[in-house]
A and B are shown apart, each in its own frame.
Chain A
Amino acid sequence: MNFANSQIHDFSLPQLDEVSLKPISKDYYKIIAVNKIVLYAILFALLFVAKSFVDGDTFQNNFWYALTILLLICLFDFVISYLAIKKRKYAIREHDVIYAKGLLVNSITTVPISRIQHIEESRSWLARKFHLSTLNIFTAGEAGSDLSIKGLPREEAKQINDFLSSKVNGKSGLLTTD
């Protein structure tokens, strides 16, 4: 049967459009910002160090251009990553996990819970300070089909982890007995 003929499915099927995706914690931007501030601080420092040590005329003449360009890149980067983080959203449904991301190319990936192999909750040093967690969801598929939901509030990550784990184990508990 051809799919185009079976449009009836449309109103009986659960739809992607009906799902309200929840944005990740705003605090996650702080982590990104701290990382970026460190990176750009180093870059700016290098530039200034170079100014006081390098004697070449070409460098000294172009120093202010270089500084402006770096400043612009820095600003641009901060704005873009801020906008991009707003696009990171997730939702947990009864049978699947949905994760959306990407500013220029937006992608929405759904992993059915029955296809989850294992779940990992990881927290970096900085994330611990902001009470955030990263949830990694692994499938048996290619690398692209694994989800990594960053910047979840810790409590919520734990709840999701528990919910998914119980579902995954409930299913495979029957399978591993053979």
Chain B
Amino acid sequence: MEKVDFSQPIRQSSKGIIIIFAFNVIKFFKNFFALFIALAFGLVRKKSFLSLTPMNIILIILGIFIIIFIIAVLKYLHFKFHLSETDFHLSTGVINKDNKTIPKSKIQNVYIKQNFVQQLINVVSLKIETAGDKKSEIEISALDKSTALLLKKELFNRINVDSENLEVSENTNVFFKASIKRLLLEGILHNHLKSFAIIASFVLGLYYEFKDYIENLEFDMDIDGYAEYEGDTMIKFLYIYVLIIFLGLLISMLFSVVRIFIANFNLEVIENQKTLEINKGLFNKVSLSLTPSKIQNIVVKTNRLKRYFNLYSLDVKQAMANKKLSKNLGIIALDKYQINHLLNKLLSDYQIEDEVLKPETYYRRILILKSLLPIFIINSVAFLIFDVTALWLNLILVPIVILFVRLRYKKAHYNVSERFVTVGSGAVDTITNILEINKIQAVELSQSLFQKRKEIASVVIYTASKSVTIPYVKEKDAKSIYDFLLFRVESQGGDWM
């Protein structure tokens, strides 16, 4: 492997021109999307737009491409970076020169990514994140893989020399590699209700739009088959609806299987001494590292079927300093043992509590009351579209809602230990939220007038990346949890980053 000398200003790989060009073209098309639509419409309708002939338009577009290409070349030529003893230097800008210097000690994270275009020409992009504001983020969009890895190592090596958390990067091993079978299984057993709901509402909307047209169609069909079916029309309709729902479910399932498969293809977790590295993606290859000290929240997800197949997923929410920005990093298709191992690694000596506390039964009543609204909305929409017969829908709807409420209440639990807060929630999914108490940013006690009468309150716990709610506990307990959390945060003086 040829050694790259980072101490002299160097450019990115010459393939970078293509990447910059592609980025700029995409950006250009995004910005002038509306204009292009107008152009296309104009062309279709009158064979001209603003008295321009198609030939002229093609010439203009070509001209734009050439200009973008020239800009890309200039940008490439003026994009230089190098490393000094303590800093990373980057100079950019064609007309306005811009020199950035980043002290290595301020570098928080170095990501290596590869999108589809970059995969085609075999380069990677390297992103440097600092503790400053968003503007100080740097992305080098085209590097050879070996150069990128070397640069990453250089950047990190120096950090480790002057900070105390020595990371022995040699001591790594691939801890987990998701097999294709398990990825597909994860996709199939995914909670499809959300994507189904989206697709269903979309289809319903379409149906409403073209209602008259479809009714005409059905009317024709009815006349054809009237003699045969006669009284069976109702059943026939039922068949059609069941078929539609089944198809909808199938489509949403396929959709999430493909989505999950593409996003997590070749998922692997590499275990370093202190950090974890995640590599995944088919078209967009991502390589991320997790540092335990930066983790704000951890969410473990599964559902009944997944539990049967020993499938768990782990979402890690990492915060960046001084930014209202957090990264959501997920690992899927883990088994129970691996989940426990990772939890132990990311949260030192976290124990899964056997004893859990439940919200008050009042929570169930609130859930029932809350579910009345969707029932009402679904009923009125169905009534508007399908008439009175649609009210039969409640025969299915009400039991589902009751089941949901039961599950939500059953899965709701919480536990506050010396160092961690664990909150369970979810209806179809079983979701476990874990956060370390010294990562807390603020605590809120929330109580409605009705709750006050019943002496019940909720505790909302904010970290830098999300909020977790302990719902509907006794006011006395809520207050002592509140006091306890604040006491821990304020007395320890531990840092949240």
For the complex, give the distance between the alpha carbons of A95 and B442 in Å: 12
Which B residues are CB-close (under 8 A) to A142?
Answer: 324, 441, 462, 464-467
Q: How far is the CA of A178 from the CA of B440 in the complex (A)?
A: 24
* Interface contact A140-B324, CB-CB below 8 Å: yes
Are B442 and A139 within 8 A (Cβ)?
A: yes
A interface residues, how many (CB within 8 angstroms): 37
State whether B490 touches A114 (Cβ < 8 A).
yes
Closest to B448 in A: A105
A133, CB-defined interface residue at 8 Å: no
The contact sample of 17 A-B pairs, CB cut-off 8 A, is: A2-B355, A3-B417, A7-B480, A14-B483, A15-B479, A104-B449, A105-B446, A105-B447, A105-B448, A106-B449, A107-B446, A108-B445, A109-B443, A114-B490, A140-B322, A144-B442, A147-B442
CB distance from B297 to the nearest CB of A (A): 11
- Cβ of A140 and Cβ of B496 under 8 Å apart? yes
Q: Smallest CB–CB gap between A34 and chain B, Å? A: 28
| Seed contacts A16-B482, A104-B448; 6 additional CB < 8 Å A-B pairs | A1-B418, A7-B480, A103-B449, A105-B447, A141-B464, A142-B464
Whether, in the assembled complex, A17 has its beta carbon less than 8 Å from a beta carbon of chain B, the answer is yes
| Known contacts A2-B415, A3-B415, A4-B357, A13 near B441 by CB under 8 Å | no
A57 at the interface (CB under 8 A from B): no
A9 part of interface (Cβ distance < 8 Å) = yes
Q: Which residues of A contact B158 (CB under 8 A)?
A: none
Query: Do A140 and B319 touch (CB < 8 A)?
Result: yes
Indicate whether A10 reaches chain B with its CB closer than 8 angstroms. yes
**B294 CB, min distance to chain A CBs, angstroms:** 12
Choose among B319, B442, B484, B496 the residue with the greatest number of A CB atoms under 10 Å from its CB.
B442
CA distance A103 to B447 in the complex (A): 10
Q: Are B319 and A106 in contact (CB under 8 A)?
A: no
Contact in complex: A115, B441 (CB < 8 Å):
yes
Contact A145 B467 (CB under 8 A): yes
A89 to B418, CA, bound (A): 30
Which A1-57 residues have C-beta < 8 A from chain B?
1-4, 6-7, 9-10, 13-17
A140, B464: Cβ atoms under 8 Å?
yes
Q: Which 3 residue pairs are nearest across A and B when measured between Cβ atoms? A: A141-B441, A145-B442, A145-B462
Cβ contacts under 8 Å, A15 to chain B = 479, 483
Kindly state whether residue B321 has any CB partner on chain A within 8 Å.
yes
A16 touches B483 (CB 8 A): yes
A111 adjacent to chain B (CB < 8 Å): yes
Interface readout for B449-460 with A: 1 if CB under 8 Å, 0 if not?
A: 100100000001
Mark contacts of A94-138 with chain B using CB atoms, 8 A cut-off: 1 yes-contact digit, 0 otherwise.
Answer: 011000000111111111101101000000000000000000000
Whether B378 is near chain A, meaning CB under 8 Å from some CB there, is no
CB-CB under 8 A from A10, the residues of chain B are 480, 483
Interface residues of A, dominant DSSP = mixed
Query: Could you tell me the distance in whole angstroms from the C-beta of B299 to the nearest C-beta in chain A?
Result: 15
Question: B209 — which chain A residues lie within 8 A by C-beta?
Answer: none
Does B489 count as interface, using CB distance less than 8 angstroms? Answer: yes
- Neighbouring A residues of B323 by C-beta, 8 Å: 140
Tell me if B444 counts as interface (CB < 8 A to partner A). Answer: yes
Cα A126 to Cα B323 with chains together (Å):
32
| Tier of interface size on chain B | 35 or more
**Distance in Å from the Cβ of A116 to the closest Cβ of chain B?**
9
Judge whether B486 is part of the interface by a CB distance below 8 angstroms: yes
Residues of B within 8 A of A2 (CB): 353, 355, 415-417
Q: Which residues of A contact B465 (CB under 8 A)?
A: 142
C-alpha gap A121/B221 in the complex (Å)? 71
Knowing A7-B480, A141-B463, the reply to whether A106 touches B441 (Cβ < 8 A) is no
Among A9, A95, A105, A117, point to the contact of B484 (Cβ < 8 A).
Answer: A9
Residues of the A chain whose Cβ atoms lie less than 8 Å from the Cβ of B444: 107-110, 144-145
Q: Contact: A13 with B415, CB < 8 Å?
A: no
B484 touches A13 (CB 8 A): yes
B487, A114: Cβ atoms closer than 8 Å: no
Contact B417 A1 (CB under 8 A): yes
On whether the beta carbons of B442 and A3 are closer than 8 Å, the reply is no
What is the bound-complex CA distance between A107 and B483, given in angstroms? 15
Bound CA span A109–B446, Å: 8
Chain A nearest CB, measured from B484 CB (Å):
6
Contact with A along B464-497 (1 / 0, CB 8 A): 1111000000000001111110110110010010
**Given A15-B483, A144-B460, also A3-B448 (CB < 8 A):** no
User: B105 an interface residue at 8 Å Cβ cutoff?
Assistant: yes
Nearest residue in B to A178 (C-beta to C-beta)? B105
One digit per residue, 1 when the CB lies within 8 angstroms of any chain B CB and 0 when it does not, for chain A 142-176 equals 11110100000000000000000000000000000
- Closest chain B CB from A114 CB (angstroms): 7
Distance, CA A143 to CA B486, complexed state (A): 19
Compute how far the CA of A2 lies from the CA of B355 in the bound complex, rounded to whole angstroms: 8
- A9 pairs with B487, CB closer than 8 A: yes
Docked complex Cα distance between A13 and B443 (Å): 16
Is B441 a contact partner of A139 (Cβ separation < 8 A)?
Answer: yes
Residues of A within 8 Å of B480, CB to CB, are 7, 9-10, 13
A141 interface neighbour in B442, B479, B483, Cβ under 8 Å: B442
Select one of B357, B442, B460, B483 contacting A13, CB under 8 A. B483
Give CA–CA (A2, B466) in the complex, Å.
Answer: 24
How does the 8 Å CB contact mask read for B66-96 relative to A, with 1 for contact and 0 for none?
A: 0000000000000000000000000000000
- Binary contact readout B393-416 vs A (1 if CB under 8 angstroms, 0 otherwise): 000000000000000000000011
CA distance A106 to B335 in the complex (A): 42
CB within 8 Å of A: which of B52-66?
Answer: none
Give bound CA distance, A161 to B455, whole Å.
Answer: 35
